[in-house]
Chains A and B, each alone.
Chain A
Amino acid sequence: MAKSDDGIRILQGLLVFGNVVIGMCGIALTAECIFFVSNPHGLYPLLEATENDDIYAAAWIGIFVGFALFALSILGIVAVIKSNRTLLLVYIILMLITYAFEMASSITAATQRDFLTPNLFLKQMLERYNKSEADNNNDKWMTEGVTKTWDKLMLQNQCCGVQGASDWQEYTSAFRRTHNDADYPWPRNCCVMNAQGSPINLDGCKLGVPGYYNSNGCYDAISGPMNTHAWGVAWFGFAILCWTFFVLLGTMFYWSRVEY
């Protein structure tokens, strides 16, 4: 009798500990996803224009799942300590629903990340940057977003194009339709600027003389934050779900042993 009593106490302790960890991880997940959704690097317009911003949807789900995990962990602690069968059942069912949502979020973030290739951003940049005629309001909104984002990106990160300045030479673009090739082999923001915001040597920039134009491509500046976003949501969600799996199994075992 005493042995099984000890065993029960240990199981209770483990379940409480497991729920405490779930609660803390839930808060961390909410905080992380709020950080990503707040668009700290200003890259959301690029994703919006690809019409595939599922990693943002995954982060939004993560916010609510994190909060739900925190609330449910408190319910779980109360249910385990009181050994109340009804509470335990409610806890298990609600946790399963939350589990399903977090699974969706994690899998979405992991799989949709694969679609963000350099070619995707290259094609979008060439077709939308400085596009003068828009098909409809939505198109105009996305074009403005892409143009502003690229201008800011090239200025702040001292980069040009997706893989380099030659992107603008290898392909025709919406930019090329309004800016002739002799004056603008690439956009002005690809030139190294002085403190007043004008190129330090315009002829050097047009020729591509090192030091007067930005030779790096912007892909690293785009994919770095997006990778962090996608993998942060996917792997942290995965870790929480693995832990929650064992806690839920233990809770179900505990529930099956409690008498009314």
Chain B
Amino acid sequence: MSSPSSGGHRFPLLTACPPALLPYVPRVPPTALPGKVTATTFALEMPCCVFDGHANASDAVWLVVAFANASDAFRNPPSREDVPPYERLPTAHSYMTLEMAAAAYACPAPSPAVLRVGGDTACAGEGGRDPCNGPLPSPGPYRVKFLVMGCHGPKAETRWSDPILLRRAASPSTIDPAPARRDSAAVVITSILASLGAALAAAVLGAVGAEAWGSLCRRDPGNGTFAHRSYRTHHIAPALPQPLPPGCGCNPPGLGCFAPRRPSPCPAE
């Protein structure tokens, strides 16, 4: 692998023009997508129509990802062989990925409107297969920029983005499942039912107690009972008619028996 210094000896410094600085700033899409920034990935707006006029169709556009505190120290690689791979992120604090043909960003805008950084889990750890768009190992913050690489080195670059901080997930043990306050309906039901139950129990005890007390003190049946009794009927044989005492001219029997009275003499006329 040629080092930058020997490359500088190989080719005269005059032909290695510094890459054109494009005013475009990469950014996370402003639309509300819950997955645009996760714990190990983030999404970027596609830089459509940004490289027109600065890149041929055969040039490659790379994405440079660096830790926010290491972005100033990043130097553009002079050729494709010097591109820092994904595996060197912990040591080099930067890497390049998402190599795409410049035609992919040409106007009019192609269908996918975002780029997902960190979405490829199959290439992580394989080594050798670059460029690898592997998941980011730490929450960052990161800064990114686009770099157009031609046959002779970098041709154009965009500005660095603002620092992108990935999500840090909290532990579920911090969730408090206790209810905020007691629902009023539960209080109403409990209090009313408790009082009804207590009233019933008191009424039953009172009624049974009064009954027991009354049956202890009472000698004859009370007057307060209504006439709704349960009657038990017994069959009584009808009594035979008694013989009439002599001298009685009573008719019908049973009306009382009186001796017949002589009519009073008529008053003298």
Residues of A within 8 A of B (CB): 1, 4-5, 8, 83-84, 92-93, 96, 99-100, 103, 106-107, 110-111, 113-115, 117, 119-120, 122-123, 126-127, 164-166, 169-173, 176, 180-183, 185, 203, 206-209, 213, 215, 231, 234-235, 238, 241-242, 245, 248-249, 252, 255-260
Contacts and interface: CB of A to CB of B under 8 A. Distances in A.
Contact of B228 (A207, A235, A255, A258): A258
A181 B43 CA distance: 14
B38 A110 contact: no
Q: Which 9 A-B pairs have the closest CB atoms?
A: A208-B35, A208-B34, A120-B177, A126-B172, A182-B135, A110-B186, A208-B33, A207-B35, A123-B175
B33 A207 contact: yes
A252 B227 CA distance: 18
Contacts of A235: 189
A205 to B, nearest CB: 8
Contact of A176 (B121, B169, B203, B211): B169
Given A181-B41, A207-B43, A257-B225, A119 B34 contact: no
Q: Which one of B121, B192, B197 has the greatest number of beta carbons of chain A within 10 Å?
A: B197
A119 B176 contact: yes
A171 B227 contact: no
A88 to B, nearest CB: 11
B36 interface: yes
Contacts of A203: 112, 116, 119
B38 A182 contact: yes
Contacts, number: 163
A238 B186 CA distance: 11
Interface of B: 33-36, 38-41, 43, 112, 114, 116, 118-121, 135, 167, 169-172, 175-180, 182-183, 185-186, 189-190, 192-194, 196-197, 199-201, 203-204, 207, 210-211, 221, 224-230
Contacts of A231: 185
15 contacts: A4-B227, A106-B189, A120-B177, A171-B172, A172-B169, A180-B121, A182-B119, A185-B38, A203-B119, A207-B33, A207-B36, A208-B35, A238-B192, A245-B196, A248-B200
Nearest to A172: B169
Contacts of B203: 248-249, 252
A208 B76 CA distance: 34
B39 A207 contact: no
Contact of B186 (A5, A84, A111, A180): A111
A23 B120 CA distance: 67
A176 B211 CA distance: 72
A89 B43 CA distance: 78
B230 A96 contact: no
Contacts of A234: 185-186, 189
A92 B190 contact: no
Contact of B118 (A127, A166, A182, A208): A182
Given A207-B36, A257-B225, A180 B172 contact: no
A5 to B, nearest CB: 7
A242 B170 CA distance: 49
Contacts of B192: 238, 242
A114 B204 contact: no
Contacts of B227: 1, 4-5
A115 B181 CA distance: 10
B135 to A, nearest CB: 4
Nearest to B186: A110
Given A117-B177, A123-B175, A169 B34 contact: yes
A84 B169 CA distance: 72
Contacts of B189: 106-107, 110, 234-235, 238
A123 B171 CA distance: 10
A117 B34 CA distance: 24
Contacts of A110: 183, 185-186, 189-190
